[in-house]
Amino acid sequence: MRLYDYAASGNCFKVRLLLGMLDRAYERVPVDIFGGDTLTCEFAMINPVRETPVLELDSGERITQSNAILWYLAEGTAWLPGTPLERAQVAQWLSFEQERVMGGLGGPRFRLVTGRATEAEVAPRLAVGRAALDVLDAHLAARDWLVGGRPSIADVSVFAYTSVAPVEVPGAVAAWVDRVRALPGFVDDFVRYPENARPGAGSSIY
């Protein structure tokens, strides 16, 4: 199993995180998004939309989109609940993560860290992120995990960009972040964007 991966991407980090918690062996293939790696013809054959992560199976089949990869890896494990209701709730949180957490926290963070925008320019997006954190905080006020009584891929997915939120994180969310970090197999290898991610310093689709 091979993971095409960019170390500074929260979407890639969540896959590495689950692989670590599952104690699954895999080959990590670094992809320098801002070094032009995804612009090559070779990478277009791996993923035509030129994004990471990509999970390549031993059979040669490839899976793209981080949450789809999480779902595939979690099948048959305790990280994906077995009941129809809880599986639907997991899907709900995976959609919430992409729409609200990545869009309201991950996107603004990327623009701020790389100097692509000022805080005033990303204020509308940050408002979405703060509202998402409020929803999370209310949900986690009376429970330890997002779905059911144990951690699932819903927690792994939402954790990635929430853990580096560019705004203050409320109390119940902060406590949940600490619980995720304390889980066996936690991988602490989510890095900041490098200098070549700044405007004009590299070459990418972004």
Predicted confidence at residue 132, as pLDDT, reads: 98
19's CB contacts (< 8 A; 6+ apart) are 3, 26, 73, 187
- Stated as kind and residue range, the H or E segment containing 5 is strand 2-5
Upstream peptide bond of 53 is cis (omega within 30 degrees of 0) = yes
% residues pLDDT > 70 (the chain): 100
CA distance 115 to 32: 19
**Span 68-95, mean pLDDT?**
98
Q: Mean pLDDT throughout 126-146?
A: 98
**What strand order describes the sheet that includes 2-5?**
27-30, 2-5, 54-56, 62-64
Domains and CATH numbers, the chain: 2-77+189-197 (3.40.30.10), 84-181 (1.20.1050.10)
Q: Is 165 helix (H, G, I), strand (E, B) or coil?
A: coil
> Cα separation of 99 and 32, whole Å?
25
- Residue 62: pLDDT over 90: yes
Predicted pLDDT at 137: 98
% of the chain residues with pLDDT over 90: 97
pLDDT value of residue 125: 96
What's the whole-number mean pLDDT along residues 12-24?
98
Distances, alpha carbon 37 to alpha carbons 40, 57, 138, 194, in Å: 6, 21, 41, 15
Name residues whose C-beta falls within 8 Å of residue 164's C-beta, 6 or more positions apart in sequence: 10, 105, 109, 190
Distance CA 160, CA 14 (A): 6
How many CB atoms sit inside 10 A of residue 58's CB?
Answer: 7
Tell me the average pLDDT of the chain.
97
User: Is residue 161 over pLDDT 90?
Assistant: yes
pTM: 0.96
Q: Which residues contact 54 (CB under 8 A, 6 or more apart)?
A: 3, 4, 46, 47, 62, 63, 64
Please, are residues 131 and 158 in contact by the beta-carbon 8 Å criterion? no
- Structure confidence at residue 206 (pLDDT): 85
